[in-house]
Chains A and B, each alone.
Chain A
């Protein structure tokens, strides 16, 4: 899905830092990338997955360099893997979503700044 473009907006970073009681050792905290998860939520919706059934299982971020205030990021995400299991009380679907973040407008032609791998588990009643 995408590409999407967002600015690492100073006010949004400040609000995020307050919410995690961050002491500003990095200008942009590493977990700030979570604010760009909207395409993931849209993906769940397009798959017919209700958000309230989604639990975050694992998250990985890799950075080539720290994010900078005011920079523009272009990103694309894809559903990388789906694994289904039958649990004791529910059907479990593990979804893996990978997102690549590039600086500037053109995904693929600019240097990759960051990579995100999100694993969620969706619990559906049997």
Chain B
């Protein structure tokens, strides 16, 4: 069966407040996400978003899609995320891609997070399983 579309949906416009909240909630206080001076000293254009924050938006998109299109209670049973390009405060992040039905219980989604320029910042392969 050919993959079907998961429409792109805007998940967030990244702000420094997102990065501060995520640092606190996740325990990842790496200064490249929080301190402009440190980020620049490390050769980055400025502070960058935690990759896992974007991964959180991608898994949220997969679950929302699964909930709308599936039957019953679902969970992400597998997720593989590749961080391809940096995400900066001000970036507008949308997530979409394709899905296919692997079995009556398992859907496979290939999703990408894109910034406002249409560049793929993050890609993910996700299995959503019906419990």
Interface size class of A (residues with CB under 8 A): 35 or more
Indicate with 1 or 0, residue by residue over A49-93, a CB within 8 angstroms of chain B CB atoms: 001111111111111111000000000000000000000011000
Residues of B in contact (CB 8 Å), total: 42
- Of chain A, the residue at the smallest CB distance from B31 is A52
- Of chain A, the residue at the smallest CB distance from B44 is A55
State which of A20, A35, A53, A63 has its C-beta within 8 Å of the C-beta of B42: A53
Q: Which of A14-66 contact B (CB under 8 A)?
A: 15-16, 18-23, 25-26, 29-31, 34-35, 37-38, 41, 51-66
Q: Which residues of B contact A38 (CB under 8 A)?
A: 27
Q: How far is the CA of A60 from the CA of B79 in the complex (A)?
A: 6
Indicate with 1 or 0, residue by residue over B26-47, a CB within 8 angstroms of chain A CB atoms: 1111111000001001110000
Q: How far is the CA of A65 from the CA of B129 in the complex (A)?
A: 9
Q: How far is the CA of A18 from the CA of B24 in the complex (A)?
A: 11
Task: Flag whether B77 is at the interface (Cβ < 8 A).
Answer: yes
